[in-house]
Amino acid sequence: MTWRRRRALVAERAQPHLPGRRDLILAAAVVGVQVSVWAVLVPGVPGEGAKAMAAVLGTGVAGGALAVRRIAPVWALGGASTSALLSVFAGGDAVVWPLVLVVALYSLAVHRTAGLAATGAVAASLTAAAATAVAGASARTVAGTGLLAAGGTAIVWVLGRSRRRRRADRSALAAYRAGTTAVPRFAAEAERERLMAELHDVAAHRLTGVVVAAGAATRLADREMAAEATRHAAVAARQAVAELDRLIEAAGTVTFDDVDALAADHVGVDYLRTVADTPPDVVALVHRVVREALTNAVRYASGARRVRVEETTTSLTTSLTVTVTDEGGAPAAPGLGTGRGLAGLGSATRALGGAFSAGPDGTGWTVRAEIPLPPASAPESVRERWGAFLDAARGWRGPAALDAVLVVLAVALSLGAELPPGGDPDPFSSPLLGAPLALLFTVHAFPLWWRRQAPRGALTIALATLLVWLGLDLAGWPGPPLSDVFLWNWWVELALVYAVAAFQPGVRTWPALLAVAVVGGAALASGDGITGNRAGAGAVLAAALAIPCLAVWALGAHTAGRRRRRDAAAARDRVRLDREVSAAAAAERVRVADGLRRTARRHTQNVADEADAGRLDAVLAEARAGLAALRELLSDLRVQDDGGDPPPTVQGIAALASRRGAAVRFAGERRPLPPALEVAVFQVARELFAGGDAVTVTFSGRGVAVSGQAPGGAAAERRLRALTDACGGTLMIADDGAARGWLPEVSRP
C-alpha cells in the first residue's frame, strides 16, 4: 500500500459519515446521567409544564449533539448551545449542559479549521453568559461568567487544536517515513534527467558540428575545406570527450562567457548580449537555450543568423529574453536530431516561471525564451506585502496559539473572578479603582505572549508587576491586596518558569525558580493574616513555593532535553538520507558513464583519432555513429522510470511537477525542514498542481509559502484549506484564483 493510499484511508477514518459507536455511547451516557439526576432530585417529572418540556427537549438535543459531534461539529455546537439555554430555562436540575458544550466545542476544534473553531469558542462563551442571564443573574455576574467562560473555552479551543495538529503530525510523519525510502530512487531519477539533458546538449552539439563540416567538405571534394573540417573535428571531438568526462563527475556551472563562446563558435552569427548579471540558474538556462537553438539551426536549416540575449522591462516585470533565429534553407546533414531538445527547454523554462516558444518565422525558425528576473531592490507588490502581513498576524493559528490563549485565560480568570458584586472590597464599584486593577491584571498576563521568544524578559515583567502591586499595597491603595489574588494568578509565573527552562537553552535557568519563590513569599507574607515577623514568614513561604517551582522548572528542562535529542535524531536521519541520496546519484552517474564509454564516448574518441589520421570519411562515419548511439542511449534511459509515488518532501515536488508536465520554482534560501512541514508543503503543492501548471515554493525565516492556482470546486478548496490549517498555516485565495498557502515553521515544546 502506498503512502498516498494510506493517507487517504486515515483521512477517511478521521472523517466518518455516520455517528460512531463511541459517540452513541457517550450520548446515551449523558442522557442517562441527566435522567438519573431527575430520578434522585425530583422523582417523576423534571419540572412542570413548559419547564418540563424544555428540560426533556434540552436533554434530547444534548444527546443528539454528542452523537453528531464528529460528523457535524458545527451543528453539534449549535445543539449544545440550544440545550444549554433550554436546560437553564427548565431550572437547576439540568446539570449536563456544561459538559455537552465543552465536548462539542472540543470536537469542533479537532475536526474543523482554526477560524471556525475560534468563532465557536466565542459563541460558547456568549452562550454561557446568556444562560447566566436567563437564570436571572446581575449584569456584572453575567459579565464575569462570560469572562470565565472565555478563559475556559480558550483552553478547550487550544486543546482541540493541539490534538488536530498532533494527529496531522503523526499522519505526516508516517507518510514521510514511508516516502523517504523512495528518496534515493528519485534522486537517481533526477540525476538521470540532468544527465540526459546535458548529454543531449553537450555531445549532440559537438558531434552535429562535426557531421555538418565533414559532410560539406566530403560533398564538395575541396582539399582546403577537408583539411579545415578535419582540424575542426579533432578539436571538437576532444572538447566533447572532455565535456562528457566532466559531465559524469558532477554538475557544472556556466557563465555568460560560455554563452559568448557558443556564439563565437558559429561563424556569421549576429550575436548581441545586453545582460551582465543574473542568477546562476537563469544563466544555465540561457546557455541551454542558445546551445540547443544553434545546434538545431545547423541540423534543420543552413545555420543560425541572429542571437539576442536581452533584458526586457515593463511596468510590472523584468525579464531576460533569449531569441535565436535562422533563415531556413536546406539542412547540411538531415536526420541528426534526438527528439528531446525543444521539449526539454520548454520544461526548464517553465520551471523558472518563464515562457518558451519555437516555431516558423517567415522562411526560417525562431526559438524564444522569456525568463522573469527577480528585481534587485524593487519594493514588494501589494499582494506580497499583504501576504507577509497576514502571515505574521495569523500566527495564532499555529502552536503559538497556546501563548495567546494563556494571555486570554489569565486576564479572563482574573477579571471574571473579581467582577461579580459582593466582594469586600468591591474593586469594580468605581471606575477609578476598576481601571487600574484591570490594567494590573493585563500587564501581569501579557508577558505570556513572549514566553517562547524571550522567556527571561517575560518573567522579569511579570515579577515586576507583582512588585508594583506589592508597593501599592504598602502605600495603602483600596484595591484587593496582592496576597489575596496571588495564589489565583501565580500559575502565570509557573508557566514562565517552565518557559525559561524549556526555551532558553545554553544559559543558567535555575535562578528563575528562586526569583519566583522569593517574590511569591513576599507577596503572601504581606497579607493581613500574617502577624509577627513578616520576613521570617516570607522566607518560610518562599521555601514552600520553591517546591512547585522546582517541579515546573525540572519539567521544562526535561522538555528542552527531549527536544534536543529529537532534533539530534532528526539531524542524524537527514545526514543518513543525504548520504543515501549522494550514493544513489553517484551510482546513476556510474551507470550512465558505463553506457557512454561503450557507445557515444567511444565513437567521439574515434572521431578525434580518425581526424588525427586525416581520414575524413571515417570521421563522418564515426560522428554519425556517435549521434546514433547517443539517441539509443537516451531512449534506453527514458524507460528506466518504474513509476511509484514521489516522496512527500520538498524535493519530491520537482519529481511531481516533472511527471505532470508542470513547473515548480523555489525562491529564498532553501534549508532542511521538519518532516511534518516537508509533507505539508508537498501536499499543498500537489493540490495546487491540480489547479494550474506552475507552483512557487518560497522559503523565509519563519516558514514556507506555496503559491499557485487554486483548484476549482468547493470540495477542492476545503481540502486545501484543511491541509494548511492542520499544520497551523493559512490560505489566501484571490478573486482570480491565485492561491497562497503559508505554512509556519515553529519550535515545539
pLDDT in tens, 512-539: 999 999 999 999 888 877 777 888 888 9
Query: Which segment of 87-96, 123-132, 689-698 scores lowest on mean pLDDT?
Result: 87-96
For domain 644-744, the question of CATH label 3.30.565.10 is answered with yes
Beta bridge partners of 743: 704
CA 652 to chain CA mean position, Å:
14
d(CA 238, CA 191): 24
Position 14 scores a pLDDT of 46
Position 201 scores a pLDDT of 64
pLDDT in tens, 125-169: 888 888 888 878 888 888 888 888 888 888 898 888 888 888 888
| Top-confidence residue, 458 or 728 | 458
Position 249 scores a pLDDT of 66
Tell whether the model's pLDDT for residue 603 goes beyond 70.
Answer: yes
d(CA 389, CA 239): 53
* Interval 180-194 mean pLDDT: 81
Which DSSP string do the residues of 264-320 spell out, in sequence order?
Answer: HHSTT-EEEE------HHHHHHHHHHHHHHHHHHHHHSS-EEEEEEEEEE-SS-EEE
Position 573 scores a pLDDT of 85
Query: Which segment of 189-198, 377-386, 496-505 scores lowest on mean pLDDT?
Result: 377-386
**DSSP conformational letter for 477:** -
| Topology agreement, domain 280-373 and domain 644-744 | yes
d(CA 585, CA 184): 8
| H-helix or E-strand spanning residue 704 | strand 703-709
746 burial type by CB count under 10 A (0-12 exposed, 13-18 middle, 19+ buried) = middle
Position 700 scores a pLDDT of 80
Q: Helix or strand or coil: residue 597? A: helix
Instruction: Determine the residue type at 554.
Output: A
Q: How confident is the model at residue 463 (pLDDT cuts 50, 70, 90)?
A: very high
What is the grid cell recorded at 213? 563540416
Position 462 scores a pLDDT of 93
Tell whether the model's pLDDT for residue 497 goes beyond 90.
Answer: yes
What is the grid cell recorded at 362? 517567415
Identify the CATH assignment for 280-373 out of 3.30.565.10, 3.40.1400.10, 3.30.430.20, 3.40.109.10. 3.30.565.10
| Top-confidence residue, 598 or 161 | 161
Tell whether the model's pLDDT for residue 552 goes beyond 90.
Answer: yes
Position 150 scores a pLDDT of 87
Q: How confident is the model at residue 362 (pLDDT cuts 50, 70, 90)?
A: confident
Beta bridge partners of 324: 307, 367
Position 555 scores a pLDDT of 94
Confirm if 541 and 519 have CB atoms less than 8 A apart: no
pLDDT in tens, 225-264: 888 888 878 887 887 787 777 776 655 677 888 888 888 8
d(CA 560, CA 80): 40
Residue 638 CB-half CA count within 13 A = 13
Tell whether the model's pLDDT for residue 364 goes beyond 90.
Answer: no
HEC assignment per residue over 297-312: HHHHCCCEEEEEEEEE
Position 338 scores a pLDDT of 52
Q: How confident is the model at residue 550 (pLDDT cuts 50, 70, 90)?
A: very high
Position 98 scores a pLDDT of 84
**What is the chain's mean pLDDT, rounded?**
80
Which DSSP string do the residues of 443-476 spell out, in sequence order?
Answer: HHHGGGGGTTT-HHHHHHHHHHHHHHHHHHHHHT
597 burial type by CB count under 10 A (0-12 exposed, 13-18 middle, 19+ buried) = middle
User: How much is the pTM?
Assistant: 0.70
Q: How confident is the model at residue 553 (pLDDT cuts 50, 70, 90)?
A: very high
Position 93 scores a pLDDT of 64
Query: Which segment of 41-50, 132-141, 596-605 scores lowest on mean pLDDT?
Result: 41-50
Give the alpha-carbon dihedral of 100, 105, 106, 110, to 10 degrees. 140
Position 400 scores a pLDDT of 65
Confirm if 711 and 720 have CB atoms less than 8 A apart: yes
Position 507 scores a pLDDT of 76
Instruction: Determine the residue type at 284.
Output: A
Instruction: Sketch the domain layout of the chain as residue ranges.
Output: 280-373, 644-744
CA 126 to chain CA mean position, Å:
34
Q: Check the CA dihedral 565-567-568-572 and report its sign.
A: positive
d(CA 196, CA 637): 8
Tell whether the model's pLDDT for residue 638 goes beyond 70.
Answer: no
Query: Which segment of 28-42, 192-206, 294-308, 435-449 scores lowest on mean pLDDT?
Result: 192-206
HEC assignment per residue over 32-89: HHHHHHHHHHCCCCCCCHHHHHHHHHHHHHHHHHHHCCCCCHHHHHHHHHHHHHHHHH
Own/partner contacts of 109-113, CB < 8 Å, gap of 24 or more, are 109/156, 109/157, 109/158, 109/159, 109/160, 109/161, 109/163, 109/164, 110/73, 110/160, 110/161, 110/163, 110/164, 110/167, 111/14, 111/15, 111/70, 111/73, 111/164, 112/73, 112/74, 113/721, 113/722, 113/725
Q: How far is CA 489 from CA 271, 332, 409, 542, in A?
A: 76, 89, 10, 16
Instruction: Determine the residue type at 203.
Output: A
Query: Which segment of 342-351, 517-526, 677-686 scores lowest on mean pLDDT?
Result: 342-351
Position 494 scores a pLDDT of 93
